[in-house]
Structure formats: C-alpha cells, structure tokens
Amino acid sequence: MNAVLHNDRLLRALLRQPVDVTPIWLMRQAGRYLPEYRAARARAGSFMALCQIPDWACEITLQPLARFPLDAAILFSDILTVPDAMGLGLSFSDGEGPRFARPLRSAADIARLAVPDPEVELRYVLDAVRLIRRELDGCVPLIGFSGSPWTLATYMVEGSSSKDYARIKALLYDQPSVLHCLLDTVARAVTVYLNGQIAAGAQAVMVFDTWGGILAPRAYREFSLAYLAQIVAGLTREAEQRRVPIILFTKGGGAWLEDLAATGCDAVGVDWTVDLGEARRRIGSRVALQGNLDPAVLYAAPERIRAQAAQVLADFGTGPGHIFNLGHGIQPGVDPDRVGALVAAVHELSRSRQPDRGT
C-alpha cells in the first residue's frame, strides 16, 4: 500500500487545515449517469455482482476519476451490504429499489441478529478496499462508508424502500425497547465494519443517515443521533500515521447540525436546504462542512452550474474547512459533461479564495 498521498486536499480540509483549492467529490460520483457504469453493470449481470466482485467494485470506483480531477475516491458498494451480511437476503431488481427476502417481522427476528465479522461475511468489501488502494497508488484518498443504524433499520424492517415508513414508525412508538435492541446491534455491526474498512485502507469514513430527517426531533436524538455518537466513539481515529476523519450526514438534518457536531465527528455533511454560511456560523468552529449544492443544478447549463458553484463557495466564505459536494447524490439523468463543468469551476473559482498557505 502506498503511504504517500499526492493529493491530500480532502484529508486536510476535513481537519480544517489550509488547502490550495477547495477539494471536491460527489455523492454517487460512480453510478448510473455514467455510460461506462451502465455498460459494466450490463456485463456484470447485476448490481450485487458489481459490489461483490472486487475487480468490478474497483473498476467502478475509478471510473469517475478517469473522467474528472476529483479530490477523492469513494468505495463502490452499498449501505445495504451490512443487513445482507446479517442474513436478510438482499436483491436489486431492474427499475426497482432494493428488496430483502427476510425482513425483520418480530422481536424474535431482531433478538436473533448477530454482528457479522467483516473479514468473513463482508470480506468482498474489504478486498475491494485493499485493491482500490493499490490501484489508486496514492493519487487521491479513498473514502469508506456505511449507512447509519437508523437508516439501515428502516430498510431491514420495511423490507424495501418505503413511502410512509409505517412499520418502522409503528415499532418506534409501540415497542421502543425492541427498536433500541435492533439499533444497538446494527451500531455494533457498523462500528466493526468501518474499522475493518479503515484497517483495509480507507483514509476517511462517512456515515449516511439518509432517513434521519423523517424523524421528529426527540425521536431523531433518541433513535438516530445516539447511535451515530456510539459509532464515532468506537471508530479507529488514526491509521498510517494520519488521522482518519469521520463525516456524518443526516439528510434533512439541518435543524440538528449542533447535535451532529457534538458527536465528536470531524465533518458534517450539509444538504441543500441549509444555507452553508449559516451552517458555518453554527458549527464551523468545531467541524468541517461538506456540501451543499442542490443536485438538480446539474441539469442546468454549464455557465449556470458555475454561477451556483460560486454561490456555494461564497456562502462558505474564505478559510479552511470546506469540502465541496452536492447536498445529496447525483441523479441518474445528469449529463457527465455537466459534472466535469462543476469540478473545473470549483477548482478554478476557489484557487483565488484561499489564504496563503505560507509554504
């Protein structure tokens, strides 16, 4: 594994250290908007094959980096591999979302769950991490990730994507102690899984709390935030003589930025519903901020994309601690050239904004 990192902007910015230009990577930067991704998926036969065969996962991780000068790679995988490894039987059918063959239907189902050993049940992910690090050869850092316990639990209890979250919300209000038992098991599974990714070579980790925003404030703190904090407390913070930054992202969590910052994470992901300047005033002295361009801006013309990127940079203002990203993942219908226009604009526009590094 190459210990020399040629472009360490991402890791510096996550630790609020000065950088020459604002680093940028994009949620879902490898995915359906890229024709080479769609071709690979067709050849591999299924989305799960892309995740489970390290050569495929590595190839797809590197696809966006071959096109755009992004400042980070993110492991190609999915958050739902963890519940799959816990025995729920994950599949993805074309045009539909994920589905579990054995969703959790009772307290007994939940009591039976065990924490998987990442080097056994999720070995294919850790092998992919090792392979990607080798192939990246120190070019840019590799981000590992997991879903939050709450977000994973929504899929495990609902059995698929959901519109109303009826089952998990009923569980939350009817049998909170059963839900706590599930969330604790998943939090322990996520902690050892992320530590496995760090040991295998992930240089930063992000926890996606995609569905935290559907919770009422008290329920968010009790059923999502508490387990995010439990994970942060259990993660390896240093590897290869560097700090391994932790990014937490609750989509729709703008009201709870202070709580996220107080978990002890290094950076907070911000969705596009929050003004980045306001987010910085609230928590920017404690953590770095990642975000927060509206993903739909990528449907607009390149000069509009540039103007909107300039606005996000201006909203953050000068000084360290910003990682440019979208407020959520790239939509499948986006033209890859628009992504190229965004990456170029962020690097170009931010160059003049950085105070002298003094080196």
Residues that bind ligand 1CP in the complex, under the rule CB under 6 A = 27-32, 41, 47, 74, 76, 78-80, 92, 97-98, 145, 161, 208, 210, 329
Output the smallest distance, CB 202 to ligand 1CP, in A.
12
What's the rounded Cα separation, in Å, for the pair 342 and 335? 11
Residues in contact with 281: Cβ distance below 8 Å, sequence separation at least 6, in sequence order: none
Is 78 an active-site residue? yes
Q: Is the peptide bond preceding residue 292 cis, with omega within 30 degrees of 0? A: yes
CA–centroid distance for 231 within its chain: 15
Output the smallest distance, CB 101 to ligand 1CP, in A.
16
107 torsion bin: left (phi>0), alpha (psi -120 to 50), beta (else)? alpha
Is 123 an active-site residue? no
By beta-carbon proximity to ligand 1CP, the closer residue of 16 and 28 is: 28
By beta-carbon proximity to ligand 1CP, the closer residue of 58 and 349 is: 58
Is 184 an active-site residue? no
By beta-carbon proximity to ligand 1CP, the closer residue of 125 and 182 is: 125
By beta-carbon proximity to ligand 1CP, the closer residue of 161 and 311 is: 161
What's the rounded Cα separation, in Å, for the pair 45 and 49? 7
Output the smallest distance, CB 56 to ligand 1CP, in A.
12
Catalytic residue among 33, 37, 155, 193: 155
Output the smallest distance, CB 97 to ligand 1CP, in A.
4
Is 28 an active-site residue? yes
As a whole number of Å, the end-to-end CA separation of the chain is 28
Catalytic residue among 41, 280, 306, 338: 41
Catalytic residue among 32, 242, 286, 353: 32
Q: Minimal CA–CA distance to 249: which of 174, 145, 105, 162?
A: 145
CA–centroid distance for 247 within its chain: 8
In DSSP terms, 269 is beta-bridged to 249, 290
In DSSP terms, 326 is beta-bridged to 293
Output the smallest distance, CB 74 to ligand 1CP, in A.
5
Is 32 an active-site residue? yes
Kindly list the catalytic residues: 28, 32, 41, 78, 155
